Structures are given as C-alpha cells and as structure tokens.
Amino acid sequence: MPGLKQLAQREDLMSAGHRACAGCLPMTAMRQILLSAGKDTVCGCTTGCVEVVTTIYPYTAWKTPFIHNAFENSAATISGAEAAYRSLRKQGKIDKEINFIAMGGDGGTYDIGLQALSGAMERGHNMLYICYDNEAYMNTGIQRSGGTPRGTATSTTPAGKVIPGKQQYPKPLTDIMIAHEIPYVAQATPGYPKDMTDKIEKALSIEGPAFMNVLAPCTRGWRYPMEESMDIARQAVETCFWPIYEVEYGKIKVSRKPKEKVPIEEWLKRQGRFRHLFREENKHIIAEIQAEVDRKWDWLLKREELSQS
C-alpha cells in the first residue's frame, strides 16, 4: 500500500475549482478515493452535494469517467456499467482493468438508495460502494436522514421547546452491509487518510462487491469552524463514536483502538448541531448517547475477537 508521500505524487483526478464549501470533507474523501483508485476508474454518484458541486454543466471536476443518474440508484447504475464491462471484456472488445465505484451520501445510501445498494451487493458485481456519510441531507438543506445521530438538530428535527432534535439512533448501515456477507466491508474517514486509502485499495483489489462507510463531516450542517473538519473527523474515531474497522471475508479487524476513549461530550460540544443537548433538561441525552457509544464499541471488540477465533 502506498504511503501518503507516494499518494501525493499521483495525479490529482479531481480538478480544482469545483464548488464545494471550504472545509467540505466529502470532497476530501473524493480526492482520497481518486488518488487510491487511479484513472482507470468509472465513478458514479447519487444526487447530492458531491454531484452538484462537481458537475455543473458545462463544467466537470472529474478527470475519470463519471455518471450521475438519480438519487437512489448509484449502485444499480454502476452495476449496469460493470455488467457492460464484463460483457465487452468477454467478447474481447476491451482488455484493460477498470475499477467501478458507486458513491452516495447518507441520504442516498441509508435511505432512498438502500434497496439498489442491497441488490447490487447481493448480485455480486465487482464494484465498490462508498457512502460519504455527513449525517444528514445536506444538499437539500440539512434534513435528518436514517444516518443522522440521536439528538442532532436538523431542519426537519429542530431543537424545539418540546422535542430536542432527532429522537432515533442512526440505522446500523455498516452492520447491514456486513450481514450481506460480501467479501469486504469497512468503516473509515478521510480524517485518517492512510487508513482510508489503504482500505480503498484493498476493497478494489478484492474480487466481488465491497462496501465502505466513510464519515465525512460537513462544516455547514454540523456547525463548526471549517478549519476543524479533519480534527472533528479524527475525534469521532477517538471517541469511538465512529470506529474505523474492516471486515474481510467475515473477519473483523478494528483499525484503531484509542488508548483513552475521549468522552462523547468533547466531540458534541464542538458542533452547533448538538448545542441544545447541553441545556440542563437535555443533558441526560448526552449520557444516553455515551452509553450507546460504549455499548456498540464493546460489542464491536467482542465481535472482532469472536470472528478471529
């Protein structure tokens, strides 16, 4: 696996001048994805921030082939492109190795695109699906998704006088994909670029479907200063809120085990979307979130042990 210095010397396949916000970590994720995957890669993305900021006609920021179809069908669209590749390759009409990467935000993956994703993974296409999870429908104005954390204030789950933000915990999407028993599933974040790019290369090198869930903080939706994006992403790992790990043919390996788990409160208090949780009457929610983080982390470690035995 190449180091960061080697990656930095590769051609940047996402051009400058796209229209993402300063501090947009989904776009950092895109750069890391393209550096890992290289130019012989077909990318597809759901409707969402990444598609919008990179493809306003007549411009495109993509130096690889790219297709945007609709909101819920990035997995199905790329599965069709991959089927075309297999067909043309079988017929001897193309011989180069090509990677197929479908992408989507949490809205396009946890919610509206889950069916197409599940179908594509079940069918066994040789493709990688990457969810850039910024924990809400950011492109349409910060509405809650199935991936939005409990307690988050969004446009559709505002911190009201009676209801303090989103009531539900997020859908365990990565576990749902593990349950598909595909060759490779991983969680990562561009906050740990080496870990993330290694996982992308591994996912692409494995024959068959692979899935990665990538936490990608959004400065506008999470309400923190834009220069803190990378740090916020890393701290999500240090709190064990977003464990980074991989599951290769069923074997779980946790990529980073913080020596000292940072209390979730430290992470929450940096983000405006959780500000209301620090009001006296809502503080119990922070305690509950901490308990849930602990429960899930402990369970992950147990599963790692079980899967290795």
Partner 1 sequence: MARRLILSGNDAAAEAMRQIDPDVVAAFPITPQTELMHKFAEFVADGDVKAEFVLVESEHSAMSATVGASAAGARAMTATSANGLALMWEIVYIAASMRLPIVMPVINRALSGPINIHCDHSDTMGCRDSSWIQLYSENAQEAYDNVLQAIKIAEHPDVLLPVMVTFDGFIISHTAEVLEVLEDAEAREWAGEYKARYSLLNTDDPVTFGPLDLQDYYFEHKRQQVEAMKNARRVIQEVGEAYGKLSGRSYDLLEAYRLEDADTALVALGSTAGTTKVVVDELRDAGRKVGLLKLRAFRPFPGAEIKAALGGVKTVGVLDRAISFGAPGGPLEKEIKAALYGGEQTVGNFVYGLGGRDMSMGDIKSVFDELDAISAGTQSVDEPRFVGVRG
Q: Do 178 and 251 meet the contact criterion of CB atoms below 8 Å apart? A: no
* Of 25 and 127, CB closest to partner 1: 127
* 90 contacts partner 1 (rule: CB under 8 A): yes
x/- letters, 42..71, toward partner 1 (CB under 8 A): x-x------xx--xxxx-x-xxxxxxxxx-
- Least separation, in Å, of the C-beta of 129 and partner 1? 13
- Least separation, in Å, of the C-beta of 197 and partner 1? 20
Nearest to 85, CA basis, from 51, 31, 125: 125
* 129 contacts partner 1 (rule: CB under 8 A): no
- Least separation, in Å, of the C-beta of 52 and partner 1? 5
Q: How far apart, in Å, are the Cα atoms of 141 and each of 49, 103, 136, 303?
A: 10, 20, 9, 37
Cα(142)–Cα(55) distance, integer angstroms: 21
DSSP 8-state code for residue 83: H
* 85 contacts partner 1 (rule: CB under 8 A): yes
User: How many residues line the site for partner 1 (CB under 8 A)?
Assistant: 48
Q: Do 173 and 185 meet the contact criterion of CB atoms below 8 Å apart? A: no
Cα(200)–Cα(101) distance, integer angstroms: 10
Peptide bond into 225 cis (omega under 30): no
Residues in region 11-40 near partner 1 by CB under 8 A: 39-40
Residue ranges in contact with partner 1 by CB under 8 A = 39-42, 44, 51-52, 55-58, 60, 62-70, 72-73, 76-88, 90-91, 94, 96, 98, 115-116, 118-120, 122-123
